[in-house]
Structure 1
Amino acid sequence: MSPPDETHLDLALSRSVVPRSAHERADAATLEQALADPGTRVLELREGRTRLRDAASTGLALRAPDADDAGRTPWFLGRHGGTAYLAVDVGPSHDGEPDHDGWVSLREVGADLDDVEAGLLTTATALHGWHRTHRHCPRCGSATDVVQAGWVRRCPRDGSEHYPRTDPAVIMAVVDDEDRLLLGTGQPWPEGRVSVLAGFVEAGETLEAAVAREVMEEVGVQVTDVRYRGNQPWPFPASLMLGFRARAVTTDLTVDRTELRSAAWYTREELRAGVEDGSRTLPPRVSIARVLVEEWFGGPITGPRAVR
């Protein structure tokens, strides 16, 4: 691991500054008082998306509570400067079909929000995904009740409590002795999209071991000098991305075609040329993958396919 005093990466989704005030969650009055306070700010979510204040804004359309919010089972996100923040799932559009007109995702706007709103939307997106997919007790199958201001689901039959899950995943910039960066194209991705390698941490595994295993499994490369670079939530739906840099001991590539369509080593000039001529697409700025790539590159990479 890298030394503790090393400067870590500046990551878009790690900028939360709103205290979560977890001690308030157990008090049933917390939500009641927040819903009754016109100063409370409410973040609406629909199909994992939210709204901006206006077409020209990069700020969220936070609003005061309305009469319907209590029935939407709001989630308490925290309190900042005396202001309570809630999130609610407003459900699908009136016709039941997905309605994305005017609604944006965290992927699209996370890098452009300020520190307060980036943290709020990251947390709300994670809770939204968890509530939508974990409505029943994994022990007995009973429908669970939402308690603790949206942070716990309790089974009324066996009394078990269930909490939002987080799946740790490693993501790594692998560089060889010629200072080339290893990039791959995932099987589901469009042709030309490239990124650093990543994978989930397995049971009983250290982070460093996960880095080495994933690189070996996906491209057959042995690595050493695994150095921690930072982490950020990635609630799509429930990951925590732990970023690393590693040095390649071997460079011959044996690509696992079940995971990757292709993989290759890139010099800075090769990557710049690919982005500029449109043959290569980079991950969006909100991702830790893009930050790892640009840290190696030495600065921002611009071009027609350098996705924001």
Structure 2
Amino acid sequence: MRFAFGDAWQSRNATYRTDPSALSASLNDPQTRILPIWRGKPHLGGDGLSWATVTDPILAHARQPYLYLGQDGNGDVFAADISGWEPDVLDRAALAMFTDTSIQIHPDAPKGAYFGELRLAMMQLPRIEAAFAATARALFNWHRTHRFCSACGQPTQNAASGWERVCTTCAAKHFPRTDPVVIMLVTHGNSLLLGRSHGWPERMYSALAGFIEPGETLEAAVAREVSEETGIQVRDIRYMASQPWPFPNSLMFGCIAQAQNTDITLDDELEDAQWLSREEVLLAWTGAHPSVLPARKGSIAHHMIGQWLAGRV
């Protein structure tokens, strides 16, 4: 059992980020690989990512500089945002869906390569490649939404090979944002509390989750979010695992807690929440439940529910 995006590659090699000569040499190295990203979608092909080199025409629309991700066993790794390319045919309605099933094929892509939704590909990718794609997606999203200085309001520019933005007026430095989120299994005897948010795929239920507020511990955030969303009070809160979640820029802290009451009072954040017995959760897990689908494979919620079903937590 595993979940996506959590693996670490050989080295992020942060010293290269501010070393122009090292970066230039790397981009002239035939072993260096560049991952094209289009509007958050990695370039996919075969059973993994579809990589490019600096001379490949698919990078003609790439925004400069490239994002330096670091090194793995095969050499240096970069990512390039080619969102400036516009496909001849584009299903904009699909792009706005919770899960975008559309694909985009660049005219200069290798045969069989395409830009696809990372949520759908995360469990098919090799573990390190999934981590590369998630990091690039999160960083490019941060660049897209932080083009102006929070100190003076003037434009910022890309710096440190994609790991900083610097204000062009006051020189303030801005660093990539990661939003901390708690995601929790709430148990009561042989039952598990699952909920669904508005706009989720039909019948999909998952663990409750919410952002950690300033001044909160993980435990305090778990108790507050569960109480706010369902009216359930919890105790015996324990940490389980964490997962980077690049949709758009979160770090998920997985926890488990015991409920002190079972009456559910929904707030407007959730469409529904319900207690499911272990047997019902197992039916959902196997796809046999008539009205509940499990959390997506590869998510930390899916992993935690599997651990609970196996009696490991």
Same fold by TM (over 0.5)? yes
Distance 1:146 1:252 in 2: 50
Determine the C-alpha separation between the residues in 2 that align with 1:108 and 1:210.
Answer: 29
2:141 to 129, 141, 147: 129
For residue 79 of structure 1, report the CA deviation from its aligned partner: 1.2
In the alignment, does 2:181 pair up with 1:169? yes
- CA contact 2:9–2:128 (8 Å) conserved in 1: yes
- What is the number of residues matched between the two proteins? 286
Partner of 1:93: 86
Partner of 2:203: 192
Q: CA deviation at 1:254?
A: 1.1
What percent identity do the matched residue pairs reach?
A: 41
Any unmatched runs of 5+ in structure 2? 93-101, 105-113
Q: Output the CA distance in 2 between the equivalents of 1:123 and 1:159.
A: 26
Q: Residue in 1 aligned with 2:269?
A: 259
Deviations 1:237-287, CA, capped at 9 Å, x for gaps: 11000000111111111111x111111111122234453144212221121
Contact 1:185 1:191 in 2 (8 A): no
Alpha-carbon distance in 2 for matches of 1:191, 1:71: 37
Contact 2:36/2:51 (<8 A) preserved: yes
Residues 199 and 114 of structure 1, relative CA distance in 2, 3 Å threshold:
same
1:62 is aligned, of 48, 51, 57, to 51
Displacement, 1:96?
A: 8.8
Work out the CA distance in 2 between the residues paired with 1:164 and 1:212. Answer: 28
**8 Å CA contact retained: 1:76, 1:149:** yes
Q: 1:206 to 1:19 in 2, by over 3 A?
A: same
Contact 2:3 2:297 in 1 (8 A): no
Q: 2:274 corresponds to which letter in structure 1?
A: A
Counterparts of 2:198 and 2:82, CA distance in 1: 34
Tell me which of 51, 60, 80 is aligned to 2:72. Answer: 80
1:25 and 2:17 correspond:
yes
**Offset, 1:71:** 5.4
Structure 1 residues not aligned, in runs of 5+: 1-8, 300-308
Residue 25 of structure 1 aligns to a residue whose secondary structure is helix
Could you say if the C-alpha distance between residues 80 and 291 of structure 1 is closer, same or farther in structure 2, counting changes exceeding 3 Å?
A: same
| 8 Å CA contact retained: 2:66, 2:80 | yes
Question: Is the 1:16–1:118 Cα contact (8 Å) retained in structure 2?
Answer: no
- In the alignment, what sits opposite 1:271? 281
Compute the RMSD of aligned alpha carbons.
2.0
Deviation above 4 Å: which 4+ runs of structure 1?
Answer: 67-71, 94-99
- CA positional deviation for 1:58: 2.1
Partner of 2:171: 159
Of 214, 217, 222, the residue aligned with 2:228 is 217
1:44 aligned to which of 36, 50, 55: 36
- Show the counterpart of 1:120: 132
- More displaced 10-residue stretch of structure 1: 116-125 or 263-272: 263-272
Distance 1:181 1:30 in 2: 52
